[in-house]
Amino acid sequence: MEGFGLVLGGGGAKGAYEIGVWKALLELNIPIKAVTGTSVGALNGAMIVQGDYDLAYEVWTNLSIENVINVEKEVVAAREGKKRVSIINTIKNLITNGGLDITPLKEMLRRIIDEKKIRESNIDFGIVTFSLSDFKPVELFKEEIPQGQLVDYLLASACFPAFKPHEIDKKKFIDGGVYDNIPLNLILKKDVKDIIVVDISGIGLVRKINKKDLNIIQIKNSEELGGILEFDSERSKRNIEIGYLDTLKVFGKLKGYKYYFIPNEEFEEGKKLVKNMDVAYLKKMYDFLGLDIGAKKGTTNKIILDKIIRTLHQYSNGKLLAESIYPAMLEITAEQLGIERAKVYTLGELAKLILDEYQKIITSENYKKNMPFINRLLLTRTQLEFDREILRTGFDNKVLISYDADIKEKDEKVKRFRRFIAMTFPKIAISNMLIAILLDMKQKANE
């Protein structure tokens, strides 16, 4: 059977993300040949091999802490205020007294896991756990697990250190993550050359995997997924959606750094927009910030420009190409304005949302309240007075982004304000500039 190997890492409640990955793989018709998983990755892997996405989605989107840990009475009492103890303290107390009782999780797995289906599936399946009794890791594929004990070994793999160790045949087991949280080496025991690795361990913790003669595709969560024991239906729904969108992006069906764009003709238009920026137009951008094109290296002007370029570079997936500048500016601005990221946009749709948000801001009471102070601030006589006052006061980012977004602005006091913002808050400066560009484009389109 041809197909990919799928490696699912551990992460407790974050595991809903892996169901989103599965959703995307199904949509992309990517065949899975083998699955290996540790901890929650083992539980999700079993459902994937079982082949029932709808069941997995239903389980995750209805999951609560009470479905995993036997603290129902204590939790209910704490929520109703009958006991002066928080849910977190209740869990801490139970851990101290020998570990959390995961009987509810065990009962749920016995209801939803179909051992016969998993064993008969053409998809191979392996898990990792750790034997406390023998003090060594245990790696097993489904054919090595005794009949009738699949759920037990799943529980052994997912027995988080805070849980009571799971016992099988008088031996105690704990979470396989203490040995190998992302069981890539396990899947290499099978004849698999194309491998998808799903890592939900945390933001910015991508492991560089270099294996000769292997095609390894890494999928990493693009935002925080919550706590390991944060079992909540709404959080699970969002994590599933993020997993789905991240996977589509990895396989080239969507573009973007933090946001998700349909890769349509607008990207070519964005490329043309940047390529058509002649010297006069670039001079407008410099003029917007009050920069001197001929400034020498090391000056404030060069430092400001360097900060802006570095920020754009970050939001261009490390490749600041002509076609990536406009999308990068859109993403930075949308992020600063708090526009929802877990959706699929065209560049035009996101630009419209940005302008809509801008209109809301400049007509808001908060904006009107801050305007007099900004105008007074612009009248300060020295740069030092200006810097001290703005740092002392602080502003709502949305006010700074929206202030005087006019590409034709010539007032030197406003330029000084923009230079300070660019030096201190480059994302805000880029957002202010992007709105000015969008307003200018809109005006020209209406002429």
Residue 154 near residue 184, CB atoms below 8 Å: no
Check 124, 152, 175, 199 and give the catalytic one: 175
> Scanning the structure block, which residue is given the tokens 């991240």?
246
For the question of residue 175 being annotated catalytic, the response is: yes
Closest CA to 114 of 46, 15, 63: 46
For the question of residue 39 being annotated catalytic, the response is: yes
Radius of gyration (C-alpha) of the chain in whole angstroms: 27
Angle at CA 285, nearest 5°, toward 294 and 255? 120
CA 302 and chain centroid, separation: 33
Neighbouring C-beta atoms of residue 322, cutoff 10 Å: 13
Q: Which residues contact 259 (CB under 8 A, 6 or more apart)?
A: 330, 331, 334, 335, 341, 345, 350
Per the document, the length of the chain is 447
Q: Structure tokens of 263?
A: 């890769």
Check 39, 157, 236, 431 and give the catalytic one: 39
Measured CA distances, 138 to 86, 141, 169, 178, 359 (Å): 36, 10, 14, 11, 60
Amino acid sitting at position 24: A
Active-site residue list:
39, 175
